[in-house]
Each structure stands twice: as structure tokens, then as C-alpha cells.
Structure 1
């Protein structure tokens, strides 16, 4: 294994009701028919995985115009991306010492609008965009029909992109960087096992939005869950990886967890 580093890239904050993130978080009961709802702050992040021969971008964040009508109104009402306009992919990469031209490949954990909004930066280039087969199918199905999920926007990914389709459960990008299929949130979520000299990193991504999804095994809220059965199986896969490697588990939107890792690993 060569020298690998993982740089975390802060892409801003989303405000949403905890009930979307943890199933049953706010439920009425006989003694409390109208419980108070809790709004919390969540992080949007990317990562730069710098390997011996390739620099890989993990996800591309959201379109900076998310709050100016680019995101569908019902989605923005539920997930308020309060500082989207302050976070361009180019600017945020620059803040951690990288340029778009440094990126040799992109891995899309999935194609939801808070992850795929920067793909336009790679349109018309030969930069490979890695995505799971099931995710690409479901994204087009959702964006091009009235079925599926409204969290996919064709304008994010229906472009001249150099798709590299990942099949099956695992895919090795290079020595020390392995992609893992984690269906549940969507059919084609990809996580990763990254080995760095500073320790292993396990990217759970949106398989687990927050610590409670992982530690307490509370599923995502119904609006964020494609398949609860697949979600549970994927959760056990990540937990087994943690038991086997002792790696740090990086969740999809947990702000405290994100901040606990500082700038990343081996940086």
C-alpha cells in the first residue's frame, strides 16, 4: 500500500427536522400527543483522496444555486441548505489546497442533488466518474419519469460525463482504496475502505446520516430510505469492517463526527 491521505472538504450546512434523519424521532404518544419537533444542523462534505498515482474526489456537493430555485421547492423546504451560495466546488477545493485540474477521478457515493451538483465541472472531460450500476439506473429512472425519488435532478448528471460503472459488491480503485456497495438509502450507495498510514477510514456516507443510525441502528426516516432491509444489511457490513480494521467511520451528514476528524487523515 502506498502513501494515501484523505482531506475533508467542508461544503456547508443544511437545516432539517431530526425526524427525517432518525425514524420515529418525534412521535406522539398517549401522554404527549403533540411533541415538539427538533431542527438540527448537518454538514455537506466532500473528500479528496490523494494516492501515490491518482487524486480522487469523493462526491461533488450541491449546486450553489440550491436556495435560488435550483432545488425543487418541496425538497428545499425540508432540507434548507442555508449557505449553498457560499460553496462552489472550485472554491472549496482551493480552501484545502487543490484545484479542479488536480482531480484525476471522481467517485459518486450516489447521485442525490446534495452530492451530484458539481458534476457539471467535469462534463466534456475524460475524468472518470465512478458510480454504481444500480445508482445510475435508479437516478435516470427517477429523474426522467414520475416514479422513483424526487431527490435526483437530471440537470446534475445527465451530461457528457465519462461514466465508469461499478458492478457488484466491491471495486478496488487502487491499492488501499476499495469501494463497497451499501444499498439502502438508495439502490446504489457506495462506501469505501481507505487504508492510510494514519489509520483506516471507513466511509459509510449516507448509509448512516448520523451517529444514531450507526450506533443505535435506528433507520433513516421514511423519506430517506429506499429499502430498510437492504439498509440494515449494509449497516452490518460497515460494522463488520469496523470490527475487522478498527477504522474511523465517516457518516454522511453528522456535523460533530465530521468536525472530530479535523482536516482528515495523514494530512
Structure 2
């Protein structure tokens, strides 16, 4: 059965309203609501499955404060990124970059693809959904799309392996799930481990309120709200059928709970 190791890659501070639609909304009764900045987790995972070692995402670059555009860093402050290199955090978990047989990119936003260049010029397969790759390039190279893609994150000589279906089995017990909404090509996963089923929601649900309460992400983080709701129901149905643990994209409490188990 697959084995999962969750790897802490640091913290990002951002306003709650970015990730929960309607948070801190002004009204006649409350014209000046308080805004709450929350500490979000950045994580990667190593999945041992079918005799191969898969890396889930590559996280934030160590130079995010200088590399990310000022408006994005100001909104999503990766304040400890310099302390969390991919190589160093993998080493703390007992892995080296050379141990990685393949990379799975949930999507190509700058906080997930920030160290993808570690695999440029290698033959390491990089899995990405077919709807994500063109949208990322379109967004990064034009004024359309989303500002959360940086071309230099994924413009290198990478060995892309494109996922074409809504479900794709990488190994026994390790299935990728297409969950459009946050981005057109967001990938999650269903992983059958000795500890039980782990359902990777990823950035479909940044925090528990997105999943448990059905509160959408803020408009700036949604490519399609209709698709987001459909993907949410896909995850909820899988949880009901498998009694899975659900891993969110950036919820610190949920990450710490599951990291102690997996």
C-alpha cells in the first residue's frame, strides 16, 4: 500500500477574506468590519507507491520576498520562505532530490511550483492536468487569466506528463482526481494507506470552512465557482464512501493533525 509523508514547507500570512468568500464583508450594521490575517501552512508530500517515490508539489521558493511581484507577496506573505528550501525540508524527512522518481503538480500557482526548477533538465516526469498547463502559460504570458502564475516557475526544460482524464491511477492505491474550480486543472488525490484513506483536496479547499461549510474561496482565488461546487461534492461523496481523512490546501490545524498520523 502507498505510504505518505507530509512535509511542512513553512507559513504564509494572508487575509481570511481571500480564502473564505464573504469574510469581513461590510454592511449597514457593520460598516467597518475587522480584517483577520491568518497563518496558513505550505506543505508538500512524498508518496511511496508502486515502487516509485512521488513528490506532491514543490512549494514556495526561498527567495519569495524578492522573486514574487510586490502586490502578491504583500497579500500572501511567505515570511519564513528563506528557512524552507525544498532540498532541506526533504532532507529533514529523510529524502534527497535524487530520490524523487516523479513530481505531481496539483496546479502551477507560484506557491506550489516555486521550486519546480529543481527538476529542469532532468528526465524526472512532472505530472500536470491538460487543462492546467495551457492556462498557466496563457496567464503568465498575457494580461489575461490569473496573476498567480509566474512563467519562470515552469518555463524550463521539464519532462511534462499530461493527465487527460478526470481520474488517473498512478499506482495501486494512488489515484489522481481532477477538481476544477480554483484553477481549471487542479488535481487532488485518493490515496489508500495503511493508516486509512487520505483524500487530498488541496487548494479546492484552503481551509475547513471551504469544505465543512461549503463557503467558496474568495473571488480572486476562483477560476469557476460552478466547477468549484461540483468538485466539492465529488470530494464529499468520496469521503462518505471511504471514511477518508481530508487534507486541505493550507489549513494549519488540519495539516498538523494529519502530519501526526501519516
Given the alignment of the two structures, is residue 219 of structure 1 paired with residue 228 of structure 2, yes or no? Answer: no
- Kindly indicate whether the alpha-carbon contact (under 8 Å) linking 2:177 and 2:189 is maintained by their aligned counterparts in 1: yes
**Cα distance in 1 for residues equivalent to 2:33 and 2:148:** 28
- CA shift, 1:50, in A, is 1.0
Partner of 1:46: 44
- Match for residue 126 of structure 2 among 122, 129, 134: 129
Given the alignment of the two structures, is residue 14 of structure 1 paired with residue 12 of structure 2, yes or no? Answer: yes
Q: Which runs of 5+ in 1 are unaligned?
A: none
- Kindly indicate whether the alpha-carbon contact (under 8 Å) linking 1:59 and 1:108 is maintained by their aligned counterparts in 2: yes
Given the alignment of the two structures, is residue 191 of structure 1 paired with residue 188 of structure 2, yes or no? Answer: yes
- Kindly indicate whether the alpha-carbon contact (under 8 Å) linking 1:8 and 1:264 is maintained by their aligned counterparts in 2: no
How high is the TM-score relative to the length of structure 2? 0.99
- CA shift, 1:262, in A, is 2.8
Q: Which runs of 5+ in 2 are unaligned?
A: none
**Cα distance in 2 for residues equivalent to 1:203 and 1:262:** 13
How high is the TM-score relative to the length of structure 1? 0.97
**Cα distance in 1 for residues equivalent to 2:259 and 2:105:** 23
Partner of 2:98: 101
**Cα distance in 2 for residues equivalent to 1:249 and 1:262:** 12
SS at structure 2 position matched to 1:194: strand
SS at structure 1 position matched to 2:247: strand
**Cα distance in 1 for residues equivalent to 2:86 and 2:259:** 19
| RMSD of equivalent CA atoms | 0.8
- Kindly indicate whether the alpha-carbon contact (under 8 Å) linking 1:7 and 1:263 is maintained by their aligned counterparts in 2: no
**Cα distance in 1 for residues equivalent to 2:19 and 2:96:** 33
Partner of 1:144: 141
Given the alignment of the two structures, is residue 166 of structure 1 paired with residue 172 of structure 2, yes or no? Answer: no
Given the alignment of the two structures, is residue 249 of structure 1 paired with residue 246 of structure 2, yes or no? Answer: yes
- CA shift, 1:264, in A, is 4.7
- Kindly indicate whether the alpha-carbon contact (under 8 Å) linking 1:6 and 1:264 is maintained by their aligned counterparts in 2: no
How many residue pairs were aligned?
262
**Cα distance in 1 for residues equivalent to 2:50 and 2:218:** 39
